[in-house]
Amino acid sequence: MEARAIRRFLRSSPRKMRLLVDLVRGKSVGEALNILRFHSKTAAKDAEMVLRSAVANLENKSLESYDLFNLVVKQAYVDAGPMMKRISPAPQGRAYRIRKRSHHLTIVVSDLA
């Protein structure tokens, strides 16, 4: 059995979140939570929250409790979200475009059986 959690419109670059997601993909949920809990990047807190939500969704779906080390992160991926475009003044009357990126994070967990 598997369950997923999606967090949309997170306000950081998708590239920064992909660095974290690559660390936890394919690992057991207990190990992934330990990695995210003690990682120094700010995005790790959002990824940990989504992973905990996916585990809670699985427990609600099957109405039983699971050991975290018997669950595995089956899929974890980051899709680009909408960009906010801003203008920054530049020399000689020019304007530079600032792109404030966002992303959507999806994590799927499943049991080993």
Question: What pLDDT is recorded for position 64?
Answer: 85
Question: What pLDDT is recorded for position 20?
Answer: 95
Question: What pLDDT is recorded for position 113?
Answer: 62
Q: What is the DSSP letter of 11?
A: S
Residue 53: CB atoms within 10 A of its CB come to 17
Question: What pLDDT is recorded for position 3?
Answer: 95
Q: Which residues of the chain have pLDDT under 50?
A: none
Question: What pLDDT is recorded for position 65?
Answer: 86
The domains located in the chain, with CATH, are: 2-111 (3.90.470.10)
Q: How far apart are CA 12 and CA 81, in angstroms?
A: 10
Q: How far apart are CA 29 and CA 33, in angstroms?
A: 6
